[in-house]
Structure 1
Amino acid sequence: MDEWRTDPTFVMCEALVDGAELSSFVGGPYDVRAVVAGIRPEARDGFLLDEVPWEHFPQGNRVREAVHLLHTGDSPRVAGTGVVGGMCANDMRAAAVLAVPFLIRIAADTRHPYRADALAEVSSPARARYFGVASRDELLLHRGNTQYDDLCDDYDDYGVEVTGYPAGWSVAAARAAITADTALLQPLLGDPDPAIRIHAAYALATASDSDRAVRAAFRARLAAEQDPIVRAALVLATAEATRTHPHPPTTTWMQERWRDRTQAPEVRLAAAIGWLCLTNEPAPDDLRATVDDLTTDERAHTMHDLPWMAFAGGSGETGLQRCVRKMLHPEQPEPVGYDDPWALRH
């Protein structure tokens, strides 16, 4: 943390601790939302990294170097995507957000050897406090808005990062960056690689979707998708987008999916989880019976390929098992043992 104290943004965080109003920093050089919004399209497309003020945010220069190495393909992937994911895991998202537009462009380049790894990291800064989160109240939940005048709600909802930086600002900036590039991400829903299709859905689920275009893209792709795990990803992405922008017909559609015995078990489980997160209604008996019947150990590990489930797991539980316990059997105690969010991801 001593290195962080030499970072210019520490001045802002220190001022906040001393009682300064967060609103006084809105739109300034330390507001990552304003910085990301101000990156020129030519800089994004041309990877003009020197135009981005990386140095304004904790470990920003480290992120810049990682993006450069990843873009040029001159390094092992851990030097690129590993930095972004690692910083988010350590609750330091502000600088990682600056990488999002560039990671999207790497992912969209069908010739890039690390495009899948880049895409897997795109939405990491857009989600906060999601390790081990598996309850109806918090899974698939986005708080706040990307607009500057809603910054206080973001700040209150998300708290601060380990550096003291307002976490809501980082999340809002990441979501805005993904929203701005939905035209690059949507074609990836039909990519030949199933992992690309899954992570494209995972990233797009964080986009602001007030006109429901992204949700419509999920439904359209679902009609053509054959892989049951990718279909489950599209269902969860639809639920996440709907949680941000409620749409009762989609909630009903979720209910129809988990009741439909012609659907793949993975799809029915994803729809059941999505429906539970979209309603406050008690879980009906047929949902409980369906979920308990379909949640086998083998299927729980198969569904761990879905990032929603991978991040929800912990304490020796897969994400699916944890979701089932938290959502349908809250009386059951937490597993005993060290809660390592990375344990089931290797």
Structure 2
Amino acid sequence: MTDGAELSSFAGGPYDVRAVVAAMRPETKDGFLLDEVPWQHFPHGDRVREAVHLLHTNNSPVRTGAGVVGGMCADDIRAAAVLAVPFLIRIAADARRPYRGGALAEASSPARARYFGVASREELLLHRGDTRHHDLSDDHDDYGVEVTGYPAGWSVAAARAAITADTALLHPLLDDPDPEIRIRAAYALATTADLDLTTRAAFRTRLAAEPDPIVRAALLLATAEATRAHPHPPTTAWIRERWRDRTQAPEVRLAAAIGWLCLTDHPAPDDLRATIDHLATDERAHAMEALPWMAIAGGSRETGLRRCVRKMLHPEQPDPADCDDPWCPHH
């Protein structure tokens, strides 16, 4: 983007990452034809291209491969990272790939405007953009701009569109033998434009068969996030019944309670408060850090679950004092 230029003049053109992603040929994505992608049009595109190349050729550990994408998103530089999303999904979908878990962990990073430590009812599962009817000529952007000056909403919308285009590759990962892959697949699929409810139905189907309580909690949070973006009152009511159901694992009930709070503006009922107070032990809070929603919500002095409980049920309580020590333990 050039200084002083009208944003609308770039919409739909070669510097609009939404248009670039939409124009990617299936052969380009499936064949890893990286030279067909205009990485150079977006900040740090050369770094992202190299990371994808290294992951595809199995020559890179995650911290210098897929980790590049996550690191750039954490630094609020998403546009070029979006271009990696289709390739990261294909690496994750290939069981022969040694770094597929790391690739899948980063695939949905550009699809969320990530703000670490955000854990309020208003923000935790919020999708501001709607990729179903996204007009490329529209320069209205609730996300603001990235540190490079690029419109953040364009990056987020393009990433969600890329994930939506590849749901057929992501859905089978909900049944992967590795629980981390199942969790990360749910996390990615939660950002799709769920037009015909197939993704939400896939979460319910997997939940019925899933033996791991942490993965079940992930499926509940993914369902809640998808429902926040695409409201569906019957699903909201279904989630409420999950935290009330004493036969559910504690982690599932906690995830359902948090998800339900994000789907309604009703005051938290007494039975929900009692459920959370009883179930939200320190041990479970640390176990639930395996969920990317909780890992991002937390802070240096708090686990994600503890921060969600405080922000959602006790908003009058102040944030704990920050800790500059990177090894500072969660409490």
User: TM-score per shorter chain, which class?
Assistant: over 0.9
Matching of residue 258 in structure 1 with residue 240 in structure 2: no
Runs of 4+ with deviation above 6 angstroms: 339-345
Change in 2 beyond 3 A, CA 1:204/1:339: farther
- Equivalent residues, number: 328
The residue type paired with residue 162 of structure 1 is V
Matching of residue 148 in structure 1 with residue 148 in structure 2: no
Q: Which position in structure 1 is the counterpart of 2:219? A: 234
1-side partners of 2:227 and 2:45: how far apart? 33
Q: Which moved more, 1:141-150 or 1:250-259?
A: 141-150
Measured after TM superposition, the shift of residue 30 of structure 1 is 0.6
CA contact (8 A) 1:189 1:198 kept: yes
What TM-score, normalized by structure 1, do the two folds share? 0.92
Question: Which secondary structure state, in structure 1, belongs to the residue aligned with residue 139 of structure 2?
Answer: helix
The residue type paired with residue 96 of structure 2 is R
Change in 2 beyond 3 A, CA 1:144/1:243: same
CA contact (8 A) 2:174 2:182 kept: yes
Q: Which moved more, 1:77-86 or 1:157-166?
A: 77-86
Runs of at least 5 residues in structure 1 that lack an aligned partner in the other structure: 1-11
CA contact (8 A) 1:25 1:31 kept: yes
What TM-score, normalized by structure 2, do the two folds share? 0.96
CA contact (8 A) 1:315 1:335 kept: no
Change in 2 beyond 3 A, CA 1:341/1:219: farther
2-side partners of 1:237 and 1:341: how far apart? 29
Matching of residue 63 in structure 1 with residue 41 in structure 2: no
Match for residue 213 of structure 1 among 198, 201, 210: 198
CA contact (8 A) 1:314 1:340 kept: no
Q: Which position in structure 1 is the counterpart of 2:316? A: 331
Q: Which position in structure 2 is the counterpart of 1:99? A: 84
2-side partners of 1:115 and 1:230: how far apart? 18
Change in 2 beyond 3 A, CA 1:13/1:287: farther
Q: Which position in structure 2 is the counterpart of 1:164? A: 149
Runs of at least 5 residues in structure 2 that lack an aligned partner in the other structure: none
Matching of residue 47 in structure 1 with residue 32 in structure 2: yes
Measured after TM superposition, the shift of residue 292 of structure 1 is 1.1
Measured after TM superposition, the shift of residue 150 of structure 1 is 7.2
Matching of residue 280 in structure 1 with residue 252 in structure 2: no
Identity %: 79
Measured after TM superposition, the shift of residue 259 of structure 1 is 0.5
The Cα offsets for residues 125-179 of structure 1, whole Å up to 9 and x where unpaired, read as 00003311100001111112222357434x2x10000101000000000000000
Matching of residue 204 in structure 1 with residue 189 in structure 2: yes
Measured after TM superposition, the shift of residue 343 of structure 1 is 6.7
Question: Which secondary structure state, in structure 2, belongs to the residue aligned with residue 148 of structure 1?
Answer: coil
Measured after TM superposition, the shift of residue 339 of structure 1 is 7.2
Change in 2 beyond 3 A, CA 1:160/1:207: same
The residue type paired with residue 215 of structure 1 is R
The residue type paired with residue 314 of structure 1 is G
Measured after TM superposition, the shift of residue 21 of structure 1 is 2.5
Measured after TM superposition, the shift of residue 342 of structure 1 is 9.6
1-side partners of 2:130 and 2:327: how far apart? 29
